[in-house]
A = this chain, B = another copy of it.
Amino acid sequence: MSQTIYFKRQPRIVATSTIAGPKECEGVIGRYVETALADDMFGESTYEKAECKMLSHVIDGAIANGGFEREEIDCIVSGDLLNQIISANFAARDFSVPFLGVYGACSTMAESLAVAAAFVNGGLMHRAVAATGSHFASAERQYRYPLELGCTRPPQSQWTVTGAGAALVSDRGDGVKITAATLGKVVDFGITDVNNMGAAMAPAAADTILAHFRATGEEPSRYDLIVTGDLGALGSRILKDLTWEKGLDISENHVDCGEIIYNVIEDEFQGGSGAGCSAVVLNSYLYRKLMGGSLKRILFVATGALLSTVSSGQGESIPCIAHAVVLER
């Protein structure tokens, strides 16, 4: 079959919820975020616990915003960046709801949406929550250096978003329809610089976007936006070059969540990253614009860098993936 799958029953996102840290809420996306944190510890004693609490908060928020009770939810599909996806596991512990843990690094929002949509589309579930998040401090500590070391960040680096987002996918009701998905392949262009995720992930985004337009036979203009997750400024330029080289011009309507989440000319350099980046932008700003009608159809392409500190330490390059979902009103 084609890499693109079609959800004929059109499962829909009937509610979302988002939360983000103080820095994130200063940006243009900030005013669309449901819960703005004044303190990125969220009242917890560790960054990891704060990350978990954010995830739990938005899962609950999406359920409540949809007008449902927890026991009406058939599944939570979630993952995050931490080792053994502990944020998702411990968040799911708060709910007496079946749980599917997924790992796609920063592509998790698209992956969890596609998995939830597949179960709902197949009539196996009525309602499933897709959710993910990230935290700047827990990600820095795990992937790079603890903040306390005060390491200098190189100009090609991005800033992991402190935030989380959840989408309630239902087989009925008013919402944003998930009509198709293109599941990504693992792509590795040999990038080894763990501070340059945008360059590593851009080829994966290009691969999935090219596959999507090949399979559907559509033109990029069919979409109001082609939204990538967290390529950042440099990665976005690389993506546009890579697709242009293959005869697909997406420059007119491409935007990257990492590029728009922070106010420009700050010290995030290339922009935002992390699983929470696209989760926050999709479930706040983009969802609102889709529901309001100012966006009618978007291709949401979240990208993930599938490395670990062990793989990098053993000299491996960075394999990446991108999953795309078609969202329309």
A79 at the A/B interface (Cβ < 8 Å)? Answer: yes
Is A306 interfacial (CB-CB < 8 Å)? yes
| Segment at the interface with B among A26-34, A129-137, A227-235, A313-321 | A313-321
In whole Å, how far is A134's beta carbon from the nearest beta carbon of chain B?
13
Interface size on A, residues (CB 8 A): 61
> Chain B residues with Cβ under 8 A from A186's Cβ?
89, 92-93, 95, 99
Return A85 CB to nearest CB of chain B, in Å: 5
- Asked whether A101 is an interface residue with its Cβ less than 8 Å from the other chain, the reply is yes
Of A57-65, A103-111, A218-226, A290-298, the one contacting chain B is A103-111
A124 adjacent to chain B (CB < 8 Å)? yes
Q: Which of A103, A114, A119: most chain B CB closer than 10 A?
A: A103
Bound Cα distance from A6 to B92, whole angstroms: 23
**Does residue A253 face the partner (Cβ distance < 8 Å to B)?**
no
A1-B126, A84-B83, A119-B118 as given contacts; A100 in contact with B93, CB under 8 Å: no
Given contacts A6-B124, A83-B308, A89-B319, 18 further A-B contacts (CB under 8 A): A5-B125, A46-B314, A48-B314, A79-B103, A83-B84, A90-B316, A92-B185, A93-B187, A98-B183, A99-B321, A100-B102, A100-B111, A100-B183, A101-B111, A102-B103, A118-B119, A121-B122, A122-B122
Which residues of A come within 8 Å of B, CB atoms? Answer: 1, 3, 5-7, 45-46, 48-49, 74-75, 79, 81-86, 89-90, 92-93, 95-105, 111, 114-115, 118-119, 121-126, 142, 183-188, 306-311, 314, 316, 319, 321
Task: Please list 19 pairs of residues, one from A and one from B, whose beta carbons are closer than 8 Å in the complex, sorted by A's number.
Answer: A1-B126, A7-B124, A45-B314, A48-B310, A48-B311, A83-B310, A84-B105, A84-B308, A85-B103, A85-B306, A89-B186, A93-B319, A97-B185, A98-B183, A99-B186, A100-B111, A101-B102, A103-B103, A122-B123
